[in-house]
Structure 1
Amino acid sequence: MEFLAQKHSNENVLDGLEGEEAADTYGRWMKQFQSCVQFDKWGQVVEAVEAYQALERTFTVRVENDTGMSEVGLEGVGGMTRRQRDNCVKLAFAMKLRIATMEDGRIDGPSNDEMDIILESFVAIVHGLVSFPLKLEQYDIQQSELDKIARFESMTPLRGEIEISHEVPTVPSIGPPHIDTAGSGGGGDARVEKSPVKYSSSQTPLTARLHSSSHVYSATAISNGGALKPPLPPSHTLSYFSLSLNKVGLKDASTYGYIDPYVIITVADARSCIIDQQQTPVSRRISGDYIHFDDIMVHLSIPIYQITEGNCGIFLELMHYKSEKKKCSCRCWSFLECDEVENGEMCLEIYKKPADYAKRKNRIWLHSVKELFFHVKGFVRKADQEEED
């Protein structure tokens, strides 16, 4: 038994993996799970929940992407084996159960010690070399109840949340925030000041397209009507993506009478779950066929590898205030696929509302036959680049 435990230790399995890329991926997942268990052990519930949620999403999407292989009889060919798939499903379920246990004392799920048991042979479990060590059927809880407690339907943080109703206090209207470009590198990778960005009184923060009376968003998503988040510092293992929003092309830009146009930026995963959401200040400049945002920077708060592994899309919704209805409305939208996260200027197609985070082809229609686009520029922020700057 001791020999088998040593044989299937994380280090030994990582050393035996074929290909540097596979070893890096498994090693990264192992370190993420290690952080989950460590936060859990220290009693840091907020950090543990967020870490478990992020990793659960990674493995759930991995299984969903692989499901088609087995359905057409290609099990194990370029995809996962049956045991690998079963173990990934059980691992994701175990993390859900652990979150529910931490959040609701009535739930009797896996303990921290049991999560530690998974950690001991984590790589071997994910790689399908051993069976899953916990008997999850012993935990009698319905999936719907589990999702409700663990909040995996909305994927919003479980702590630091506030509820926003449609009755939003008015905020004095001011211009776009000051962007300090001093010392910023990466070809104009400007950093937005951390002070709150105020919005026009007509701008409804992150609730313009909601039909319910209220909705829950994390406290970091709003500030005085909305704010752009400051850039997170990249590390040698984590790179981040930023977007510079230049202008939106509309044939009626100068004639429609747009009031306080602004952009909601949303990162949503393959299940249409919102992972990150921000909004810009209102535009104060419209000329010709364009609403200008003057290269305002939007710094995504999740690392690039999560965008890629989660098959996420980055959605840009142009919002504007309708005085007759006294509410904000989406005029049109654009999006970037996860493989478009790269440096350089981009001209994005513009589509008719409403935005569809699932990106279903039968729900996407061009907003206009006229060749007008959403002009943006991407910046991949890496640690070595910022050190050089």
Structure 2
Amino acid sequence: MAAMVDSEYVAASQDTDPRKLHEKWTKALVKSVKADVWGQVIEAVDEYTALSNDIVAQAARLQMTENDNVLLHRVVCALKARCDCATAPDGATTTPTADDMKKIVPAFEELFAGEKAEYAPFPLALEQLEKYIAESFWLDETSRKLQESVKPGGVLVPASEISSTGSHVSLELVDVGIKDAESFQNPFIRVTVMDRKGHLLEHKQETPVADRQHRYQIDINTIVHIQTSVEELREKDAAIFLELVHYKPLKHKHSTKAWSVLEMDELTSDLKVLEIYKKPVQPSRKKFKLLTTKKLFLQVRVHVK
């Protein structure tokens, strides 16, 4: 069985069309998971191993968005983690399970959906993949580190990775005041640093899913470390944009509900109570439309060092 799998992948290894590779990889993943669920562990491990090896071999040559890169990297981590679990002595490793691998298939089917695609949260917690999540495989160092969260589920840069040059800002995102807070699925805050023309000054960061939702409030309770120095932010007339993002299951995508902004004159160490605006985000900062007339705000504690 293993020899047949190897020859299949060797025969197709010259193909670098993302769509054809995606179709091939999806079929292989479905086949692997089916064997796993049926208890055909040896066959499943052979299939998982061949698939992960082929993805690693091909990925560096593909033109992919950052979201595609992260999703594909997590799939490879899951494949390797499942092989470890399936071949470990009884009780030594219990996750991810065969049922966990079934959850990966719908996520994998979203791959290569385009530049504007926003994928659903990856179905496995990063703790289940911790042995492999730090391995780069084909990712550059920056993209890999963006996967590693201070709290599970987010896309955050640790403070230790920030240059010591100049002053830097850390944002302690406290909560968001919004009507029907409990109705939002998997809400989080996306943090973007842009100049007035919409040019990004650094990678976007995303908090983990909110800690708690109740009536008019979504609790975030996450610290985000801005990578760009205060001096450079001021020089480029930039601002820090905070988007409230939630998942729409019927449309299988994330959507921005509202946004706030921290201007340069607000980057002082204390609690800020920010107005919340209707989407879309306005990098030019010339047009602001309040989301509601109710006294609902986004609270963030700014720390400048």
Q: TM-score, normalised by structure 2?
A: 0.53
Letter in 2 for 1:377: R
CA contact (8 A) 1:208 1:327 kept: no
Structure 2 portions without partners, runs of 5+: 1-62, 76-102, 120-139
What RMSD, in angstroms, separates the aligned Cα atoms of the two structures?
3.7
**Aligned pairs, how many?**
185
Cα pair distance change 1:302/1:263, threshold 3 Å: same
What do residues 245-290 of structure 1 show as CA deviations (whole Å, max 9, x unaligned)?
0000002213xx2111011100002321011221111113111210
> Which residues of 2 match residues 160-239 of structure 1 at below 5 A?
163-164=65-66, 168=71, 211=116, 219=143, 222-223=146-147, 226-232=154-160, 235=164, 238-239=166-167
Shift of 1:370: 0.3
Which residue is 2:303 aligned to?
A: 379
Residue 309 (structure 1) aligned with residue 235 (structure 2): yes
* C-alpha distance in 2 between matches for 1:209 and 1:366: 31
Cα pair distance change 1:283/1:372, threshold 3 Å: same
Which residue is 2:279 aligned to?
A: 353
* C-alpha distance in 2 between matches for 1:335 and 1:209: 27
Cα pair distance change 1:210/1:345, threshold 3 Å: farther
* C-alpha distance in 2 between matches for 1:350 and 1:228: 23
Secondary structure of the 2:147 match is coil
CA contact (8 A) 1:265 1:314 kept: yes
Cα pair distance change 1:230/1:247, threshold 3 Å: same
Q: TM-score, normalised by structure 1?
A: 0.42
Cα pair distance change 1:227/1:208, threshold 3 Å: farther
* C-alpha distance in 1 between matches for 2:294 and 2:267: 26
CA contact (8 A) 2:66 2:143 kept: no
Shift of 1:238: 1.2
Secondary structure of the 2:231 match is helix
Cα pair distance change 1:283/1:226, threshold 3 Å: closer
* C-alpha distance in 2 between matches for 1:358 and 1:321: 26
CA contact (8 A) 1:203 1:321 kept: no
Structure showing greater radius of gyration is: 1
* C-alpha distance in 1 between matches for 2:146 and 2:295: 34
Which residue is 1:273 aligned to?
A: 199
Which residue is 2:224 aligned to?
A: 298
CA contact (8 A) 1:208 1:328 kept: no
Secondary structure of the 2:232 match is helix
* C-alpha distance in 1 between matches for 2:196 and 2:163: 24
Find 1:261's aligned residue among 187, 195, 219: 187
Secondary structure of the 1:325 match is coil
Secondary structure of the 2:186 match is strand
Letter in 2 for 1:211: K
Residue 284 (structure 1) aligned with residue 211 (structure 2): yes
CA contact (8 A) 2:178 2:216 kept: yes
CA contact (8 A) 1:260 1:284 kept: no
Which residue is 2:257 aligned to?
A: 331
Which residue is 2:269 aligned to?
A: 343
Find 2:247's aligned residue among 314, 321, 324: 321
Cα pair distance change 1:246/1:312, threshold 3 Å: same
Shift of 1:221: 7.0
Fraction of identical pairs, as percent: 33
Cα pair distance change 1:241/1:208, threshold 3 Å: farther
* C-alpha distance in 2 between matches for 1:266 and 1:213: 15
Which residue is 2:172 aligned to?
A: 244
CA contact (8 A) 1:249 1:289 kept: yes
Shift of 1:222: 3.4
